[in-house]
Amino acid sequence: MLLELIDVSLAFNDNALFSDVSLAVDAGDLVIIGGPSGSGKSSLLRLLNRLNDPTSGQINLDGRPFRDYRVVELRRQICYIQQSPVIVEGTVKQNLLLPFGFESLRGFETPTDEILIDLLHKFKLDDITLSDQAMVLSVGQKQRLAFIRALLLQPKALLLDEPTSALDQDSRLVVEEYVERLASEENLAILMVTHLDFKPKHMKARRYMLKRGGLEERAG
């Protein structure tokens, strides 16, 4: 099993967000998590990227506890894409290659321009070039750049926090289509928090509702 949450609970200042969450996610799974505002959906994703640690319980990657991994290696294998994409001053290419300047990726082969251009095409970004300034792009274009940057790290899992909530209809459909393809064709595990009614066309997603009492599976 790729990812396992075993009786995971999270509380801040004695205020419990959720309790006894157990979930198993394998390669190729598409897991969609909904729930009321404040139920801890984003906090659950942060646990899976080790931006926080659970109050109790255990999280495993490939059968090993998270604590056995270096944090930088864990975050390369499990990439977290936030609702507001992180884009810095510079060109599209500089933003896509940003992680490859980090010490933790020393020895990791830097993608070629051909690879970058191919991914831009797959995300229907043919109207921008690698030399364009990233900060002037639309929100939808920036979000798709964040996806590409994560995929360049060759992760095993993607954590998506409301990835389409700020996008127009066209950009939303592009992202949703590619999310489905990443799970069904590229065998990535996808955990997606969303309040939108995302219904994959060619595969079945597992749906859950997160409440203070825990995680409840819903009919797909």
Residuewise pLDDT in 10s, the chain (220 residues): 999 999 999 999 888 899 999 999 999 999 999 988 888 999 999 999 999 999 999 999 999 999 999 999 999 999 999 888 899 999 999 999 999 988 777 778 999 999 999 999 999 999 999 999 999 999 889 999 999 999 999 999 999 999 888 788 888 888 899 999 999 999 999 999 988 778 888 899 999 999 877 899 987 6
Domains of the chain, each with CATH number or no CATH: 3-218 (3.40.50.300)
Q: Which residues pair with 25 in a beta bridge?
A: 3
Q: What would you measure as the largest C-alpha separation in the chain, in angstroms?
A: 51
Q: How many angstroms separate the CA atoms of 96 and 205, rounded? A: 29
Q: How many angstroms separate the CA atoms of 97 and 112, rounded? A: 10
Question: Which pair of tokens denotes residue 4?
Answer: 């396992």
Q: What is the dihedral of CA 195, 201, 203, 204, to 10 degrees?
A: 40
Residue with tokens 């995302």: 198
What pTM value is reported for the model? Answer: 0.93
